[in-house]
Structure formats: structure tokens, C-alpha cells
Amino acid sequence: MDELPIGRRVAYWRGRRKMSQQVFADRLGKSKSWVDKVERGVRRLDKFSVVYEIADVLQVDVQLLLGKDVERRPETQNCIDQVEVEEIRAALERYDQMSAFFQAVPHSPPLTEMRKAVSHAWLTYQHAKYGVLARMLPKLLRDAQAADSAYATGTEAKDAAHLLGQVYQIASSALRKVGEHELSWLAADRSIAVSQRAGDQLLAGLASYRVGSALLALGRVRPALEVNVNIANRLAPSYEPAHKGERLSVYGMLLLNGAMAAARIGDSATVRDLLCGAEQASLELGGDFNHYWTSFGPTNVQLHRCATAVELGDGRTAVETHEKIDVIGFNAMLPERRAHHFLDIARGYTQIGNVEKASEMLLEGDRLAPSEIRCRPLAHEVLSDVLRRTRGTPPAPIAELAEQMGVGV
């Protein structure tokens, strides 16, 4: 968008904020005609004070309106900012596969390079390095799309589709973390179609898991519950030994995600049944593994027992379950999963009024994986709740974290 006139940028961001010209004009204290002339380039924006006011109403960095690179603060380096979100959006809006129907793709990276890049992206996500991931995702999406188009009719077509399906899932998960739920849903939905072309039921199952997560984040709870349970039933482990560990892992994660959706609507009986099914799968699996990047096993089931209890408003059960978790198994889990759990338990402690322990959990999560705490809107809400409930001046570490996250003390 850098080459666009400023009026076009204003129109773009107004549209992104779902404001009509009239609403936008009212918030600026201008007329609708004035806004229309600015967006069409008939009227120049030659006062910085007005540009800053427009940026404030649109809730974007003024540098975006001026077509310049946003100067990032040090504490936001590991988060996904709006510039990076728009770059990911632009990559998702490409339809190179359709262009390839008419002419050959000019360039595509070798699949061996793509496999390394995708594996690196998964590890980056599971280590909660969201800023690093955001900066690599646009190129990774473009490369994976190009590879899928280039190898569409060859012997490596399924491999290329498999890689693209994975990249869509990584993008979906990262976007959901930072509150971009509609984009997360789009990327997950794309992964379902691509995964079917890849001929991999487990990858398609995981794509359904991502769709369910995005739907849950969007407040579409019952569809989220249905998609997880329906696909889990289709993937119920059989007696065939081939890929049994991978199948158990994907099946178990679908049940856990379904349990989270059931908890959101207060259906404790369904939560109990789904957790029981996931626990049986984890015991059959025989330990904690990262098959298909799931981090599934007995420990993850316990973490979801805590998380579902929090969703049900039962902070006491969440805390009691947390205290019984196997320490060795927990410490062996990847940073994103552990920090996510600390955030869940911080919520649990606020539910029982223990603000001090809630603060400890937030700080522990921040020490382990700062991006999981500092970049997530949910963590901002929990920290705001902690500060509200704190009597007097908050402890220095939590006050410092609040300042770095931009949460008012």
C-alpha cells in the first residue's frame, strides 16, 4: 500500500474498521463531503494535526497513513503488529493457483527447501516467537502457494499440497493468538481443502481442529463443538498399527478442542465425556509426543482439564488440578503450551480471588514465553483484571509488565 495516495489509505483503513463515511466524519467532527473529497484525492491532507487525528480515529499508526515503515518499540518486537497482519492478509488474498491454470508459474522454490522452512515455522510457533513467525509468514505463504501451483500436475503434487496445508495452519494459529479471528478462520478453511488434495486424513483432521479453534474464538461455539466431535468420530483410532501414534494424537486434540467448546456453553457433562475420551487416547499413546505438531499426551490432557474448568468458571478445580500436574512431563512441553497454561491458571486464580498467585502465573508465563503473554488480547484482559483487584500499589514486577504491555495501572 506504500505507493497509494494518502486518501486511498484513509479509505482502506476506514473500510477495515467497518466505518461508513458518515460515522467516520462524525468522529472527526467533519462533514461526509469532506471525507469523500479526502478519499478521492480532491482535498489534500496538508496538516499533520489532522493526519494524527485521523490515525487516532482509525486506531492505526500515523506512519501507516503516511506510507512509511512503522517504527516498532523494543517491547513489541516479538509481537505481530498491524503492518505484519496486513502483509499476511495480502499473501492470503493471492490466487496464484488460478493464474497457474492459464500459464506456468515463473518461480517456485524446491520442495526440500520448503520442508525445512515449514519445519522451522512450526518450531518458531511452538516456541511462541510470534514476531519472528510473522515476519517469515508472508514469504512462506507465497512460496508454498507457488510450489503448490508449480507441482500441481506432477508426481510431487501431494507433497506440495501437504506443505501448503501446513503453512495455512501455522498462519491460522498465529493469527488467532493475536485476535485476528476472521483471518484465522480463512487460513484454516483454506487448509481443509488443500489437505484433502494432499490425501492426508490426519492433516485434514488438524485443519478441522484449526477451524474449530477459529470458530470458538469468533464466538461460534456450537459449530466449533460439532466440527471437532464429528471429525474426531471419523478419525477414531482403529486397530491398524500404521500411523497409530499420529492418529491418536490428532484424534485426542480434536476431543480436547471439543471439550473447550462444550465448556464455553457450560455443558459440563459433554466436557467430562470428551476429556475422558482424550485421556484414554493419551494412555494408549503411552506418553507425551509432538506427532503432527500436537504436543498431545497425558500432560496436555491435564492442562485441558484446567482450561475447561476455567471456562466453566470453576477456578478452584483448575488450581487443584494444576497442583497435581506431573512436573517432569510439564517441563518437557514446548514453551507455547506451558505459557498458555500459566495464562489459564492466572485466570483460575482470579476466579477464586487470589490476585497474588494470578500475578505470579502471569510473570511465570512471561519469563517462559514473553510473546504468549504480551501479544495476546486475553492476557491483556487478565492483567487488567489483576490490576483492578489489587489493593494499593501493585508489586513492582507486575507494574513493570503492565507498563511494557501498555495496560493501565
Residue that wins the pLDDT comparison between 5 and 253: 253
Q: What is the pTM of this model?
A: 0.80
Across the chain, what does the average pLDDT equal?
A: 89
DSSP state of 235: T
Identify whether the C-beta of residue 261 lies closer than 8 Å to the C-beta of residue 307. no
Identify the pLDDT of residue 241.
64
Identify the pLDDT of residue 90.
87
Phi-psi sector, 220: left (phi>0), alpha (psi -120 to 50), beta? beta
Distance linking the first and last C-alpha atoms of the chain: 36
* Residue 76 banded pLDDT, cuts 50, 70, 90: very low
* Residue 389 banded pLDDT, cuts 50, 70, 90: very high
Identify the pLDDT of residue 96.
60
Q: Please give the full DSSP string across 59-89, using - where no structure is assigned.
A: TS-HHHHTT------GGGTTS--HHHHHHHH
Identify the pLDDT of residue 72.
46
Identify whether the C-beta of residue 334 lies closer than 8 Å to the C-beta of residue 127. yes
- Classify domain 6-65 at the CATH topology level: 434 Repressor (Amino-terminal Domain) (1.10.260)
In a 3-state reduction of DSSP, which class is residue 408? Answer: coil
Identify the pLDDT of residue 102.
46
Euclidean distance between CA atoms 300 and 6, whole angstroms: 49
Which one, of 191, 225, 216, lies nearest residue 205 by Cα?
191
Q: Please give the full DSSP string across 145-197, using - where no structure is assigned.
A: HHHHHHTTTSTTHHHHHHHHHHHHHHHHHHHHHTT-HHHHHHHHHHHHHHHHH
Which one, of 285, 282, 94, lies nearest residue 190 by Cα?
94
Tens-place pLDDT, residues 139-168: 999 999 999 988 887 789 999 999 999 999
Tens-place pLDDT, residues 277-313: 999 999 999 999 999 999 999 999 999 999 999 999 9
